[in-house]
Structure formats: structure tokens, C-alpha cells
Amino acid sequence: MHKEIISPLSDFVFAEVFGNQRNIGNTRAFLKTLLDIPEDDYDKLTVENSTLGRFFRQDKKGIVDLKLSTKSGRIIHIEIQVNKKANMRSRILYYAAKLLWEQIKKGEEYEKLHQVISIIICDHRLLEEEQSYINKYELRNRENRSFTDLLQVVILELPKLPKAEDSSLWPWLRFFKCKREEEYDMLARKYPELKKPIQSVKYMSLGENIRELMFREKLRKMDERAEKKQIMLEREQARTEARAEGRAEGHAEGHAEGHAEGRAEGHAEGRAEGHAEGHAEGHAEGHAEGHAEGQTESQLEIARRLKARGLPLAEVVEITGLNPELAEKL
């Protein structure tokens, strides 16, 4: 009977095999084949909180797959990317910058910063311009002189992995590509260092375990979809309320000021509706969405709620029509 085996690329499997402190030996063995850092730096390899800090309250929330610290304070971030996402390179750099920023607090010296190494394991081709499946990036000039070693990005692309072994890293990446039990068994026989992680995956693939884990994963994805849907509904409701408030206020305060300020300061939606609905409606959209003096308590309250949910300032301004300076002070 065919035994169902979970992929190491699954979020919950990767978290257990590499992101659990009791399995830190797996993580240490993997990193030693990849990184050129002092041997004794692995003596205190610790799994850290994977939630990243925010520069400002309205910043995007960041959660990485695995965040580690070494004996010297070096930060190692490992991310699994199964599906290709837009702006992936910018996302990688953004997270790395946050990992640098959150190391020091107000008043502390920059000398406290430790190196950040971001390792991205892709089950797709991210770097079409590169032939190798291992690519390491640092800040260097055109003469290849290093600007700083504080930031390093390592991209590992599984689709480019050759069929035959060509490096000490190859068995580990082959492990991530395994889909059948016989593939795991072959690796375990040939590469002793992979026996423990393979045993962990097999144990997680036992009947009751896999059903429970897959159920948890399904619930997590359902929660994510529900949260995204709720955010979209709240954004649309905020836009509707802002437009309604603006129309009422604009009609009350007159055509001339609202229409003039709408054309000068109102956003694209206000101008479009102003042209479509005539002088009076043009005032409404312009005054509600562009004029700082015409903001209502309803718009301010909507902005406060959106900022509390973590929406970027630009989106709050777009939805409510508030003046950016006023919205930032809320």
C-alpha cells in the first residue's frame, strides 16, 4: 500500500524539522554546508520569534518562516517560497532591512548591528538570469570590493538542481524535493546526516499525524482567506462611507469652494465623480476627499480604524480622502 509522505516544503513540516529548538541539529547541519561563518558560531544556535518589528504603526506586518540567532549575535533568516510571487526581490530586501533595524533601539550605537543572512529556498525559478542553483549576494562595488558584510542574501532554486550530486549542499536540496518514500530511503542510506530529518518527516506522515497536520494547515489557510476578505470588505465600506459623508457635507457648504478645491486637491475618484455628477457632486467628492478643512469625524474615525489594522498610510489616505499630514498624526 502506498504511504503518503508530506513534503518538507510544507510550512508546518519545515517548522517542525528545522524551526523547533529540539531539532536544531538538523538546522545546524544544513547551514554548515551552505554558509561560510566560524564553526563556533553554531555553538549557540537559537530559534527566535519569527514576527518582525514595525518601523511605524501603520507598516506592513512581517512574519518569516524561520529566524535564528548565532553565538555571536548573527541573524539568519530562512524562507520557503513554493509559489512565485510578484516583487519577490523587493520583499526579500525589505525583510532583511527590518532584521537589521530591529536589532538596535533608540539611543543605541550602530556598532551593535550584527550580520543578517537571508536564505530563500525557492521551488520555482526566481533568478532567470542565473544558471547556478546557488546564488549569494552581498553589497559590493563594481570592482568587487565589499562595502559591508552586514547583509547577505542567499537564493537556492530547487528546479535548477542537477540530477547528480555536485556539492555538499546537494543532498539537502534533494531532500526538499522528495515526494515518495523510496526517495527518502535512498537519501537516508547514502547520507547519514539526513537520517534524522527524514525520520521526522516520516513520523509526521503517519496516519493520525498527517490528518491532524493537514487539518491544521487547512484551518490556517481558511483563516487567512477570511481575514483578507474582511479587510477588503472594510476597505470598501470605508470608501462608501467617505463618499457619502463628502456628498452631504459638500452640498451643505456650497458649490464654489468644494468644486474648486476638489479639482485642485481631490483624488482621481473625486474628480471623475465631480465631472459625472455635475457641479454639486464635484464639490462633494472634492471637498470630502481633498480639502483638509472639510474632514468629518466619521472620516477621522474610519482612518483611525484602518491604521489600527496596520494598513499603510498611503492606503488610509486613498480610502478616506484625508490630508496625508492629518492622517499621519492620528
pLDDT digit string, tens, across residues 237-263: 877 877 777 777 666 665 555 454 544
Which of these three, 168, 190, 205, is where a domain ends?
205
Please give the pLDDT value at position 286. 42
Asked if residue 4 is part of any domain, the answer here is no
Please give the pLDDT value at position 229. 74
Q: Which helix (H) or strand (E) holds 297?
A: helix 297-308
Asked if residue 178 is part of any domain, the answer here is yes
C-alpha cell read off for 158: 530547487
Which of these three, 154, 189, 205, is where a domain ends?
205
Q: Mean pLDDT, the chain, as a whole number?
A: 79
* Lookup result for grid cell 570590493: 145
Q: Which of 301, 299, 298 is nearest to 289 (CA)?
A: 299
Residue type, 233: L
Alpha carbon of residue 26 to chain centroid: 24
Q: Are residues 118 and 238 in the same domain?
A: no
Q: What is the CA radius of gyration of the chain?
A: 26
145-170, pLDDT tens digit by residue?
A: 999 999 999 999 999 999 999 999 99
Q: Are residues 155 and 301 in the same domain?
A: no
Q: Are residues 154 and 246 in the same domain?
A: no
Asked if residue 161 is part of any domain, the answer here is yes
Asked if residue 214 is part of any domain, the answer here is no
The answer to which of 61-70, 118-127, 142-151, 225-234 has the lowest mean pLDDT is 225-234
Please give the pLDDT value at position 55. 47
Q: Are residues 201 and 240 in the same domain?
A: no
| Model-wide pTM > 0.85 | no
Domain extent, residue 253, equals 230-329
Q: Are residues 111 and 146 in the same domain?
A: yes
pLDDT grade for 215, boundaries at 50, 70 and 90: low
Is residue 112 classed as helix, strand or coil in its secondary structure? helix
Is residue 6 classed as helix, strand or coil in its secondary structure? coil
How confident is the model over 191-213, as a mean pLDDT?
Answer: 80
Q: Are residues 196 and 264 in the same domain?
A: no
* Lookup result for grid cell 536564505: 119
pLDDT grade for 234, boundaries at 50, 70 and 90: confident
Please give the pLDDT value at position 207. 60
Q: Are residues 151 and 118 in the same domain?
A: yes
Asked if residue 290 is part of any domain, the answer here is yes
How confident is the model over 92-96, as a mean pLDDT?
Answer: 92
Asked if residue 163 is part of any domain, the answer here is yes
How confident is the model over 20-41, as a mean pLDDT?
Answer: 95
| Percent of the chain topping pLDDT 70 | 72
Q: Are 262 and 271 in contact (CB under 8 A)?
A: yes
Q: How many domains does the chain have?
A: 2
On the question of pLDDT at 45 being above 60, the answer is: yes
279-299, pLDDT tens digit by residue?
A: 444 444 444 344 444 445 667
Q: Are residues 127 and 17 in the same domain?
A: yes
pLDDT grade for 62, boundaries at 50, 70 and 90: low
Distances from the Cα of 63 to the Cα of 66, 99, 150, 247, angstroms: 9, 11, 21, 40
Stronger pLDDT, 233 or 187, i.e. the higher one: 187
Q: Are 60 and 48 in contact (CB under 8 A)?
A: no
Asked if residue 81 is part of any domain, the answer here is yes
Please give the pLDDT value at position 198. 94
Q: What share of the chain is helix, strand, coil (3-state, %, to 5)?
A: 55, 15, 30
Q: Are residues 25 and 85 in the same domain?
A: yes
Please give the pLDDT value at position 69. 96
Q: Are residues 146 and 283 in the same domain?
A: no
Stronger pLDDT, 128 or 52, i.e. the higher one: 128
C-alpha cell read off for 84: 512565485
Please give the pLDDT value at position 184. 93
In angstroms, the CA 204 to CA 207 distance is 8
Q: Are residues 87 and 176 in the same domain?
A: yes
Please give the pLDDT value at position 52. 57
Residue type, 164: A
Q: Are residues 176 and 289 in the same domain?
A: no
Asked if residue 213 is part of any domain, the answer here is no
Q: Where are the alpha helices (DSSP H) in 5-87?
A: 11-18, 24-32
